[in-house]
Structure 1
C-alpha cells in the first residue's frame, strides 16, 4: 500500500490518498496547492494508522483531528470484499473506521477534506535546565493554566516536555507575532529563566520544523518502546501542590537515564464535534500526558510506572487513553481507548467482523 497514488480532485479541497502514504508525502503534495490537513509531528508515520485512531498534533486545536477530515474510506472487510464507507454509505463502519479502524478492516484509500494553509506560522521554543524536574514545578503549573484555559485561542498549540537534559516548551501559533500578542497569549507564556527562540516561518518551512528530521529517518526503525499515557479533562487539572508532588516522585537517579515525559494541550476545535459522531472518544480532554522511553532499563520502567501511578492517584477520575499512545500493559485497554463508544463498536464488530479476523490484543471484540 506504500505506492498507492495520491490524487487531488481538480481544484477542490478533496484529496485521495492510499493507506500507506506517509504524512510527509501528503504534506509535500498539498504544499503545491497551499492546502493542508492537521496531523501529528512525526512525518514518517503512515496516514492509515494515524487517521484511524485520531491524529493529534500542533494543528489539532485549530482544525480538529486528522480523522475529522476523513469524508470517505475504501475498506477491505473481513469477508474479503471492498466497500466504500461514509456518512451516507455503510455509516456504521465509517463510524468505527474513524477512531478504531485497525479492528475493522484494511484501508486502501481515504477521501479527505483539506484546509487552506496558514500564510504565517510562529514557533516558540523555551528551554530550562535543572538538576531535577521538581525544581520547575511552578513553570509546569503556569504552563498548564494557559494550555487548559477554555478561552485559549484555537490557533495556539503547545506542549511541555521533561527529560534528563531539562525541560522544553514548544508552542506553535498559526498567525503573526503581532496577532499572538494581540490575543494576550505572549505575555502569559513568558518565562524569566528560560532560553527562548522564535521563528516566524512560511507554512512549508514550518512543516519541515514540525516533522523533525530525526523522526523522518527513524520512524521505520524498530525499537522496544515503553510508554504510559493519560487524557485529562477540565476536572483533572492539577493544583500547584499536585504538580509539585507528582514531579517530586521522580527519583534523582532517573536523571542518568534516557526518558521523556510530555504534557500536550488538547481541546479547541476537537471539542466542536460531539463524542458519538466518530469512534474517537476524547473530545472532552484538555490535556494529554505521555511518558516515553525507548529501550528502557528496568530501573527506568519502574520509575516511570511510579510516576504514572502517582498521577493516577491524583486524578482519580481520569481513565481515558489516546489509542495512538499504545500501552501494551494497559488493563481494560478497550474501555480506556474508546470509552462510551465501546458498546456501539462491539455491535459494529459483530456485524462486520464476527470471527475477529482483524485482531490484536487491544482491538475491539464482537458483542456476542
Structure 2
C-alpha cells in the first residue's frame, strides 16, 4: 500500500510492539484528547504536516486537549524512551513537528485566545495560529507583531524570534512576550517571565523548542487597525536591479512604522494579478505601515515613482485581510525548502546575486527575497534574548516551493546554491525559523546564535539534561 506515492511503512510499529496492552490502556485512560495510531482511519491526516516535503510516520499522535494531556504524553515518552516531536498550529517547514517511530505531541486543538483589552495583553494557547490571534485581538483594535501569513503557528514563530510586518515598529514577536507556561522534560509545569525562571524565559525568546512544551504565551499588544496601509507593488524583471538599489537607500533612514520586503519571483496565476503577466519574472515590494493609514499611503508612493509598476495591490485594508493575503500564494501540501542569511549590507554585488538567483529558480512558485530589519529590532541588546542578530540591516531569504516530488533534488539544490553564493556578502548565519530542512550540527547552531550559544547549552542542561526535546533545531545540553 502507498500514501501519496510513498511506501507506507510505520517505523513506529516496532515501538508499539515493545509496549504491553496495559501500557497503551493506561495511557488512553489518562489522556482526554484523541490518540491516533497507525492503524486508525485518521492516521494519514494526523501524521501529515503543512510542508509536503516532510513524510514521516510517528508511532502515535496525541491530540492534546489541555495541559494534563501534555504532561501525560511527556511522561509516556520519557518512561518508554521514545522520540518526541511537538506540533503547534502552523507550518513547521523544517519538519521538526513530526518524527519517525515516536510520539507527536499535537497542540493544534489547543488554540484558545483570551484578550485583556484593559491591560492590552493577550494569552494564547500553544496550538493557535496568527489568524487565531489576530481574529480576537482586532476586536479591540489590538495586535501582536509577527508573522506574514495567517496560518503561521504562534508557538514556532515566537520561539524562533518572530519576524513580521510590524517588527520595525514594535519589535519581534518574542520581544512582546511577557510570560509563558511550560511543561518541562520532567513533567513539571513552570511559569517563565522576567521575574520567574528568568534563564528559561531568556532562552525561549529565540532559542526554539529545545526547552520544553510551551502550553501558553502571554503577549503585550499594540494599537493597530482595524485598517492599515499596505504596500504591494510589482515591477518587471528589467526594473529589478534599479528598484532593489532604491530599496537599499530607502531602508537606510526609513521611518520605523515601515517594514518592507523585496521579493524576486514569477507572477502567480491568481485573479489579483493581470493575466497578461502570469508566469513572468519580476520584483515585488510589499509590507505595511504601522501608523496612520494616510501617512503610510504617502510613504509608499515613493516606490511608485522609482519605476512604472506592472501591478499595484497597495491600499488601506483591514489588518486581518492583510495578514491572510499571502496564504493563497503557498497552500498546504506543496513541497517547501526555506533558508536564509542575515546580511551585513545590501551591496551592488549582493543585489546582482539576488536577481541572478531569482532568474535561475526552477519552480514558478519559488522566490528570493530581502527583508528590511532595524528599527525596534536593533534597539534590543543582543544578549537580552536568545535572538542575537539584532544589528543586521537585512535578511536574505530563499523559498524553494514546488509540487512534484520528482523535482525535489533540483529545487533544493537551487536553494542551497543560492545560499552558498550569498555567503560572500555576509559573515552571519540564518534566521532559525528559516534555516533549511536537513541541515544540522554545531557549526550551524553557532551561526544562528552567535555569542548566545554557550548560554543556551547551559539552560538546556538545566531544563532538559537528557535532550528529550531533540526534534528541533537541536541545542545539546552542556556537559
TM-score (norm 1): 0.87
Q: 2:113–2:132: 8 Å Cα contact kept in structure 1?
A: no
1:94 to 195, 201, 211: 201
Deviation at 1:346, TM superposition (A): 0.5
Higher relative contact order (CA 8 A, sep 6+): 1
Deviation at 1:199, TM superposition (A): 4.2
For 2:127 and 2:136, the matched residues in 1 are separated by 15
Task: Mark the CA change 1:355 to 1:68 in structure 2 (over 3 Å): closer, same or farther.
Answer: same
TM-score (norm 2): 0.68
Q: Secondary structure at the match of 1:338?
A: helix
Q: Secondary structure at the match of 2:249?
A: helix
Aligned to 1:159: 261
For 1:361 and 1:10, the matched residues in 2 are separated by 34
Deviation at 1:200, TM superposition (A): 3.9
Q: Which stretch has the larger CA shift, 256-265 or 66-75?
A: 256-265
After superposition, residues 342-361 of structure 1 pair within 5 angstroms as: 342-360=453-471
2:235 to 128, 142, 154: 128
1:179 to 290, 295, 303: 295
After superposition, residues 245-324 of structure 1 pair within 5 angstroms as: 245=353, 247-248=355-356, 254=361, 257-295=364-402, 296-313=407-424, 315-317=425-427, 319-324=428-433
Q: 1:158–1:264: 8 Å Cα contact kept in structure 2?
A: yes
Unpaired runs of at least 5, structure 1:
none
Structure possessing the higher radius of gyration over alpha carbons: 2
Q: 2:151–2:327: 8 Å Cα contact kept in structure 1?
A: no
Unpaired runs of at least 5, structure 2:
1-106, 268-281
Task: Mark the CA change 1:186 to 1:73 in structure 2 (over 3 Å): closer, same or farther.
Answer: same
Q: 2:150–2:327: 8 Å Cα contact kept in structure 1?
A: no
For 2:465 and 2:337, the matched residues in 1 are separated by 32
1:230 to 341, 357, 362: 341
Aligned to 2:119: 12
Q: Secondary structure at the match of 2:455?
A: helix
For 2:329 and 2:411, the matched residues in 1 are separated by 26
Q: 1:122–1:200: 8 Å Cα contact kept in structure 2?
A: yes
Q: 1:246–1:310: 8 Å Cα contact kept in structure 2?
A: no
1:43 aligns with 2:159: no
Q: 2:121–2:220: 8 Å Cα contact kept in structure 1?
A: yes
Deviation at 1:186, TM superposition (A): 3.9
Task: Mark the CA change 1:179 to 1:83 in structure 2 (over 3 Å): closer, same or farther.
Answer: same
Give per-residue Cα distances to partners, 1:240-297, cap 9 Å, x unaligned.
2442255346666x46654211111111111121111111112112111111112454
Task: Mark the CA change 1:249 to 1:32 in structure 2 (over 3 Å): closer, same or farther.
Answer: closer
For 1:359 and 1:36, the matched residues in 2 are separated by 32
1:169 aligns with 2:295: no
Aligned to 2:351: 243
Number of residues paired by the alignment? 352
1:193 aligns with 2:193: no
Task: Mark the CA change 1:246 to 1:43 in structure 2 (over 3 Å): closer, same or farther.
Answer: closer
Q: Which stretch has the larger CA shift, 301-310 or 90-99?
A: 301-310
Aligned to 2:248: 144
For 2:358 and 2:195, the matched residues in 1 are separated by 51
For 1:94 and 1:265, the matched residues in 2 are separated by 27
Q: Secondary structure at the match of 1:363?
A: coil
Q: Secondary structure at the match of 2:206?
A: helix
Aligned to 2:17: none
Give per-residue Cα distances to partners, 1:217-238, cap 9 Å, x unaligned.
93xx344322221011xxx213
Deviation at 1:4, TM superposition (A): 4.9
For 1:256 and 1:3, the matched residues in 2 are separated by 35
Q: Secondary structure at the match of 1:99?
A: coil
For 2:359 and 2:131, the matched residues in 1 are separated by 38
Give per-residue Cα distances to partners, 1:94-135, cap 9 Å, x unaligned.
1111111400000111111111124652222211223xx7x6
For 1:175 and 1:120, the matched residues in 2 are separated by 10
Deviation at 1:316, TM superposition (A): 4.3
